[in-house]
Structure 1
Amino acid sequence: MSRVVLEGLEFHARHGVYDTEGVLGARFVVDAELYYDFAGLPDELSAAVNYAAVYIAIQEEVTGKRHQLIEVLADRIARRILSDQPGLARVTVRVHKPFAPLPGVFRDVFAELTLEQEDR
């Protein structure tokens, strides 16, 4: 299966369990892997998955509504992408929260979800 990857999409949003996260917000980073068979695809946007539209959908989901859990945000994004892009066979979404309020040194925290078209 072939794929197109949108990696490192950064947004400022207010997700999190704590009140301060809702007030101050933080940086969230999203990766989306879009799986569909594009071998032999004609060179026309109408025949492909429109990843500019996917970007806008991700941006709306991340910045539009506050969620306590990044797991829920990942689910909302994955389901939206599959709904908006019926040509996709599968999508993998990662929502990174690199500044999660944890009591230690860490590089990243992320939630990852893979859904197939029939899962939505």
Structure 2
Amino acid sequence: MIDAITITGLTATGFHGVFPEERREGQPFVVDVVLELPLETSSDDLADTVSYADIADDVEAVITGEPRNLIETVAGEIAERCLLRGRVDRVTVTVHKPRAPLSQTFADVSVTINRSRHV
């Protein structure tokens, strides 16, 4: 049985996209992360888990960091950082781009990836 820590709706401004105005003006990106790992529920010690505050810092750093053309790349970089946290076995990352440059009316554009340290 695998346990999970979930962060939903972490929002920050990034400059990702293929169009010059996306790189110039920026836009909000919203990220959901599900970390799968064995959770020690009897120790009550932060050292026996993964700090969701550290994960949130990592996610924000990727969103606000070096501009990427694709949200797929952003999701991959977030997943890589999460898997560097020693106890995380698997991660699911969804990057939402609610202001993607589409001419149609839409609610959201998102990419979801799943990565595991045991591949």
Q: Deviations over 1:68-112 (max 9, x none)?
A: 1000100011011101x1101100000000010011011110011
1:19 aligned residue:
20
Moved more, 31-40 or 100-109: 31-40
Moved more, 58-67 or 31-40: 31-40
Q: Which secondary structure state, in structure 2, belongs to the residue aligned with residue 118 of structure 1?
A: coil
Give the alignment of 1:38-77 within 5 angstroms: 38=39, 40-77=41-78
- Separation in structure 2 between the aligned mates of residue 79 and residue 68 of structure 1, nearest angstrom: 18
Deviation at 1:39, TM superposition (A): 5.1
Structure 2-normalised TM-score?
Answer: 0.95
Instruction: Tell me the matched-pair count.
Output: 118
Gaps of 5+ in 1: none
1:106 aligned residue:
106
State the percentage of identical aligned residues: 35
Gaps of 5+ in 2: none
CA contact (8 A) 1:11 1:59 kept: yes
- Separation in structure 2 between the aligned mates of residue 28 and residue 52 of structure 1, nearest angstrom: 18
Judging changes above 3 Å, is the alpha-carbon distance between structure 1 residues 114 and 41 closer, same or farther for their aligned structure 2 residues? farther
List 4+ stretches of structure 1 deviating above 4 A.
none
- Separation in structure 1 between the aligned mates of residue 39 and residue 59 of structure 2, nearest angstrom: 22
2:96 aligned residue:
96
Larger helix fraction of residues: 1
CA contact (8 A) 1:78 1:93 kept: yes
CA contact (8 A) 1:86 1:117 kept: no
Deviation at 1:38, TM superposition (A): 1.2
